[in-house]
Structure 1
Amino acid sequence: MTTYGHKGVEAVQNRDYAAAIPLLDKALESSNSPAWLLARSQAHKHLKNYDAALHDAELAYHTAAERGSGNSRKQMIEAQYRRSVIYHTLRRYADADCCAKWSMLLAEGRPAREDDGVEKNVDQDGNYSVTYEDGVGDTKGQPGQGADDKMGMLSGIMGGSSSSTTAKTGFEADWKRAYIWRSQVLGVLKTVPEDHPGRKISVTKIPPKPQKTVAKKPDPKPVPAPSDNASKQPIETPAPAPGSVPDEQLKLRVDFYQNNQDVTVSLFVKDAKKEDLQVAFSKHQVQISPLPRATASYVKAGDREATSTLLLGGEINPSGSRWSATPRKIELVLRKASPGAKWATWGKEEIGAVAAEAGQEAPDLSAAASTEPMPAQAAPAGLAASSPSGPAYPTSSKTGPKDWEKLADEEEDDKQDVNFFFKQLYKGATPEQQRAMMKSFTESNGTSLSTDWEDVKARKVEMIPPDGVEAKKWDP
């Protein structure tokens, strides 16, 4: 069984989630190992089996607490973090923040059964009252900020008090991960309407202990014994039969934010080829094809499952909208038909092509085949023809000519300074990208920022000062 467990964990690390689950199922028949439960929870979450993912995270928490081994606290920290990620995916944002905070408290060395009152932070309407600013400023208990670091020594030299410093616990990285994740959760929470159910608390610090429900299953494909001469072969699992994956599991993970002019929608999808993508905008829909589906590897261009239709939460100006694509996501910038209108939600995704409503023009994918993302500085094509505007006078500004009749709108946009940019960057990043950002920014003393974890995880990010500035090492 140990071999199955190790192979299952390795498959999760390699992101082969479909192969990991039967291996971990077999391993967990004889042992409730918290490490295996957490790995299976992660696999279920990526395959959009959210109930199963939550079940495994909660069972891992209880099993780790009962065992009381050397790894128990770390596994409990991880279990609370996993709960937070799952609740966020389910749009239960208040519950997600509570679990992230409990993960931080465990990393600080606080008692697991302490009544910390995190879930009691609600207003008179029963909505969660913790704000984004509260979360960002919640660093008092950060472990490892003791008087042995330079800032602590400087505080002592200057006569400051060290009473607020905290000792190292061994879980500093876990605390930082949960702290950064909270900023993303609370950043989303502040954008949702006041009556959104995700603002309500329905979670408890110690979850009800779920029952072990995994039934005995036939052995997965035999795992070959390792040999000195044989190279490691990937675990092969048969692809799902066409049409066997429910539509709900095919849907993409989506995030969005908005300002007075645009709604920006991020669709998290891997390996979409920019040169093949066809994106068509209409007033109430966006149609995208072809999309690879991680949970259904049989999907090919032209299949129904390769197309997504986004039914939007408001009306847009198709000619003023644009898109861009990277290896990990597709980003849509939707120009609002009514500037200043606040969308309650970005909309919803339907698998396959959806007929346009009566009286609307259907998206033309053939015409959109050659669509390229519009430069961020350029005025949207056709916008001047559809709405009157003042003359654009010559200017040396990097943003190009200005329409002085719209100066008020531009001044509003100027309020979104570099801090706003970094907040949005964190908000749209994956936990792996956030770790890369934290590591690169900290090690380089704020001179470098990377979102590529594979690039920075095994090296120290060197400080690269701006031209004309000499970097000097500070010693107390």
Structure 2
Amino acid sequence: MEFVNANKGIALCKEGNYADAIPHLTKAIAVTMSPIWLLARAEAYTKASQFERAIVDAEHAYNIAAARQHSQRLEQMLEAQYRRGVALFRLGRYADADACLLWAVRLGSGASAREEDLVLAKVDGDGFYNCTLEQAENEKPVSPEKGNVNQADLTKSRKWVRAHSMRQVCLSNLARLASDATERKLTVTRTPSPPALVDGEYSLDGSKDGSEKAAGGRQGPAALDTTATAVKPQQLRFDFFQSSANVTLSIFCKGVDKKTFRAEADSRTIVLHNMPNEGDPPVMLSLAHEIEPHTIKQFVGSVKVELTLVKAQPGEKWKTWGSMTDSSDLASVSQPKESVLSEPDVEDEPPKPKPIPDWVLQNKPPPYPTSSKSGPKDWEKLGDDDEEPQDVNHFFEKLYKGATPEAKRAMMKSYTESNGTELSMDWSDVANRQVEVHPPEGVDVKNWDGTKRK
């Protein structure tokens, strides 16, 4: 029966009906504590703003997965740390959140679950967590080798990008806090010790009333019970076109406020803040390729937002712009960091003139469009490395120099006896015969004294 409830709960989660999914998953977990079911309910609890319960489920899922020898063991441990990080972030515990996300990133990078804990090196003597956005950007993603790509590698790579992007936002919020803020205190450990579940559920303060309290007495966002209706993220439509140097991404959405709209970006991620409808979470976009984040331009219109992205690799052809990640994980982001995008354009103002491309200033031809991963090629220089054409004598000198002794004798005999009209390298063919003269058509053969040969 627990499998029926679990499958029903997971199906409801996929449909976005998290409130109805929680009771089904709870009945299943009361019988069997499966990491998959716990992680599904942790996500549902997060959507329903029951963050303490989401953390407990994720911690139980991590410990159970770590104790098993299973093909999906590391993937489940990664997902559990990510779910911990998201729930802690929503509670405003940014240091704890980034630590969990860093553990998820390390697992996604292929590191061992038993490697030295890198988080401990980022904590000072007073217990404050010190990590910067610049340090996080040095983490490298999983890059499966071509020809040896499997679904597990692709899934791990996608989850690495998701956790890494979440760290960008988390560390941006952490950087705005005072150096002695309580949110900077690290209170979590890589291997958690969660409280026990009673009848498959974590009881808050000895009850099941669904109230949420953060550590240190801080109140999290408004708590919802299991019958509440989860807020669904706004549905957006995307389109893009590209040139050899730029990609123009259109986000179709009505009613975007030009004055309050904000966007922040790094080389592979864009986060859009203050989209329409109060309470909607920011929109996170994971790009398919790298861009130059400090040169992005934006245009806010009545029905769409248009972003002009400069390719980090000019001439590279994008098959797709990327995808939108789970934006509700970023809800409650406050005071976004200063955007690296330019100031929004006013819809009625004429567009600003485009900057002069570098190839014009440097008096060079424009780059050729190409789909090559190595970048554009200058076809004007295609023949620059070719050898200069040589005369026919140079060819024969090279041929004679590389020949065998017998071939050299055959060449000398045939060339001399035929008055330069035949050249043979086969000594067995010319050794016992007189090589005849074979002049070209229209040419007469003459003796050395100038008389015509009979």
Question: Structure 2 length normalisation: TM-score?
Answer: 0.50
Q: Name the larger-Rg structure.
A: 2
Question: Structure 1 length normalisation: TM-score?
Answer: 0.48
